[in-house]
Amino acid sequence: MTEQYDTVGSTYEQYKTKATLPIVENFTFFNILSNFQEKTILDLACGTGFYTRLLKKRGAGKVIGVDISEEMIGVARQEEHKEPLGIEYQAFDVGKLPKVGKFDLVTAIYLLNYAENKEYLLKMFQKIRNNLVENGRLVAMTINPHFCVSKSNCSKYGLTVLKEETLSEGYYCEAEFNTDPPFVIKYFRWSQFIYEWAATEAGFKKVTWHSIEIPPQAIEQYTEDYWRDFLENSLIVGLSCQN
Ligand SMILES: C[S@@+](CC[C@H](N)C(=O)[O-])C[C@H]1O[C@@H](n2cnc3c(N)ncnc32)[C@H](O)[C@@H]1O
């Protein structure tokens, strides 16, 4: 599962810029993050560096991007080469991440949903905490523990959930990105309890869940009706943890 993005690289960027789910993800993420000007940020599961670049361009201090996939890191480095922003990219599995530094913020947009079991989820939270300053904060986007595929799917927003298999603490899932060509990814939808257990076990003091928010321009452009399913049954959710 950890190498599944190795063959995806630039097709993933296509999804990021053409599908509508990322509009909501982006708006929600930056609202949760709120003030990050001049702050040092470690962007985990940075992929091709989509958010890593945005964070830097919007005023963050030093930013480092980390991803397990050499292919994704390769695309991110090419982008840095084309338009130098001073971002450093490193290839690591977050479950084995050393201390890269002490950051004000750790961001993790779709990292935690790749932990294959609760022990690995705990490891990820521990490594994250190990890279934060005393009052540091983790801001993550992940798969909503309460998403219900039988209620509505996500196809019109850019990806289709193909299957969900019950595990003891959540679900093993597969979804297809509606890109050209399409690609399938495997991930986990862990329970709220397991996330909160892992975060507090790792030493985080406060765990907060954040519902998705639709930007007003996107409601105007696509209509309220278009977003209804997503608002009522969102595949994604925000999670922040205070050190
Ligand atoms: C859906 S992409 C998100 C990329 C980026 N955060 C974004 O939103 O554009 C998920 C990324 O998580 C990475 N990933 C999965 N498991 C990981 C792990 N254990 N450590 C680091 N990165 C991981 C994948 O390689 C992939 O690039």
Distance of CA 186 to the CA centre of its chain: 14
Rounded to two decimals, what is the model's pTM? 0.97
**Distance, CA 47 to ligand 1 centroid (Å)?**
5
Q: Which of the four pLDDT bands, split at 50, 70 and 90, describes residue 230?
A: very high
CATH number at residue 89: 3.40.50.150
**Is the CB of 93 within 6 Å of ligand 1?**
yes
The CB of 51 under 6 Å from ligand 1? The reply is yes
- Domain for residue 155, yes or no? no
Position in ligand 1 atom list of the atom nearest CA 3: 25
Query: What are the DSSP calls for 212-241, one per residue?
Result: ----HHHHHHH-HHHHHHHHHS-SEEEEEE
Here the tokens at position 108 are: 């993790």
Q: Is residue 140 part of a domain?
A: yes
Instruction: Read off the pLDDT of residues 117-136 as tens digits, 9 standing for 90 and up.
Output: 999 999 999 999 999 999 99
Question: Looking at the domain assignment, is residue 114 inside a domain?
Answer: yes
Residues 58 and 71: their CA atoms lie apart, in Å, by: 25
Q: In the structure encoding, which two tokens stand for residue 199, read together? A: 């975060």
**184 within some domain:** no
Q: Report yes or no on 181 lying in a domain.
A: no
Between the CA of 228 and the centroid of ligand 1 the distance, in Å, is 28
Tell me the CA–centroid distance for residue 181 and ligand 1, in Å: 20
- Between the CA of 107 and the centroid of ligand 1 the distance, in Å, is 11
Structural domain contains residue 163: no
Atom 19, ligand 1: which residue's CA is nearest? 93
Q: What is the pLDDT of residues 46-91, one digit of tens each?
A: 999 999 999 999 999 999 999 999 988 998 999 999 999 999 999 9
- Provide the domain count of the chain: 1
**Is residue 76 a part of any domain in this protein?**
yes
Residue 176 belongs to a domain: no
Domain that holds residue 91: 4-144+191-242
